Amino acid sequence: GSTVPANLVVTNVLRRDPSSGEIVVQLTVANTGSIAATAVRPTAVRIGTTATTATLPLPLGDIAAGLTAITTIRVPGNAGGAG
């Protein structure tokens, strides 16, 4: 078989923290390639025009082929409607 470079697929799940009103983003980064992705680090997280208040880039480290990294990032509650 041929070697496929690292290929990162990013998905997210959003929920609202009932205590703070912030939007909690569960960010999943999957490497669907056949070699490791090294030094993975998201550099921007936004909902609409509202950015996270977290310090970025957020180091996720290396993601081996076929594996995923999951992290949680918070965005101010004013980024989206209630619900």
Residue pair 27/71 in contact (Cβ under 8 Å)? The answer is: yes
Residue pair 31/7 in contact (Cβ under 8 Å)? The answer is: yes
- 55: nearest Cα among 66, 67, 41: 41
Model-wide pTM > 0.75: yes
**How much is the pLDDT for 82?**
60
**How much is the pLDDT for 3?**
80
Tokens of 62: 């290396």
If the chain, 83 residues long, is cut into consecutive pieces of 10 residues, what is the mean pLDDT of each piece? 88 96 96 97 93 93 98 91 59
Enumerate the β-bridge partners of residue 42.
Answer: none
Tokens of 13: 């799940």
